[in-house]
Amino acid sequence: MSNALKERIARGEIVTAAWIDTGSPEVCEIVVNAGWDVVVIDCEHGAAPLEDGLSLIRAVQAAGGEAVLRVPDGSDTTLKRALDRGARSILVPMVNSVEQAKSIVYSCLYPPRGGRGYAAPIVRASHYGRWTDYAKQAHDDLLLMVQCEHVDAVAHVAEIGAIDGIDMVFVGPNDLSGSLGLLEQLDHPDLLKCKEEVERAGRESGVKLGTILGGGRNYSQIRDAGYSFIVGPADVGLLYDAARAARIEMADDLDLVADAGGTTRDY
């Protein structure tokens, strides 16, 4: 058994992904079939609670894609359930310190490397016992990413990324801007300075970095800044934009006015 996404990132490949926020297995299948072979299932801000999000992994895999699960928090119980149910690539939000990062790793790895609770023979992750060496090999199969999305984390990126068991530091610029008192000001010099500090730490220490599309940079610019995992469009935005464009096209064709809420009225 091997985590293909982890291998791609380790080889230095630039991996792009889409968000799944609706919690819909059909949307997961549509997005993968449209060519997004990696999707991030968002159980922090998305509609799906953890258990539903874990079920979405099946839809992604059945369609031929790789799933990353953003868990709602980094608690021991949350991580244990996510791993047991078969999440192989995990994104943990709001990791602000080295101590917190170490605690997350401890929860994710079996003894003696960590303290993950044991139920290997009965869980989906081991194919319900068919993978007999799962407990010995699970740490090699896991892609563990932690999010730097608070100013407190910026100075510790290199140290966090060097922790054995952590594969990537993922920058969340929106919450990072909020922690600076600059929410949604993604072009503010103070936020850009923080991002540059993270990117410099990544270059100098060899820490793998991920982030989202935006902030005035396209995919190639983000790649050139040192990121190897870039998460772009979300299903909600794709659906809204397509629905809105279709509504405007209809209104134009019928000489109607489409207001911002999507309703139409005569001139």
Domain limits, the chain: 4-254
Whole-number pLDDT of residue 2: 83
212 vs 42: CA distance, rounded Å: 13
Which residues are identified as catalytic? 45
Q: By 3-state DSSP, what share of the chain in percent is helix, strand and coil, each rounded to 5?
A: 45, 20, 35
Whole-number pLDDT of residue 256: 85
Architecture of domain 4-254: Alpha-Beta Barrel (3.20)
Angstrom distances, CA of residue 19 to CA of 6, 23, 85: 18, 10, 20
Residue among 121, 48, 58, 115 at smallest CA distance from 87: 58
Residue among 1, 3, 4, 40 at smallest CA distance from 22: 40
pTM (predicted TM-score): 0.94
Whole-number pLDDT of residue 119: 96
Whole-number pLDDT of residue 265: 42
Per-residue pLDDT of the chain (267 residues; tens, 9 = 90+): 589 999 999 999 999 999 999 999 999 999 999 999 999 999 999 999 999 999 999 999 999 999 999 999 999 999 999 999 999 999 999 999 999 999 999 999 999 999 999 999 999 999 999 999 999 999 999 999 999 999 999 999 999 999 999 999 999 999 999 999 999 999 999 999 999 999 999 999 999 999 999 989 999 999 999 999 999 999 999 999 999 999 999 988 998 876 666 554 443
Query: First and final CA of the chain: distance in angstroms?
Result: 62
Whole-number pLDDT of residue 267: 35
Whole-number pLDDT of residue 261: 63
Whole-number pLDDT of residue 255: 84
Q: Region of 214 please: left (phi>0), alpha (psi -120 to 50) or beta.
A: left
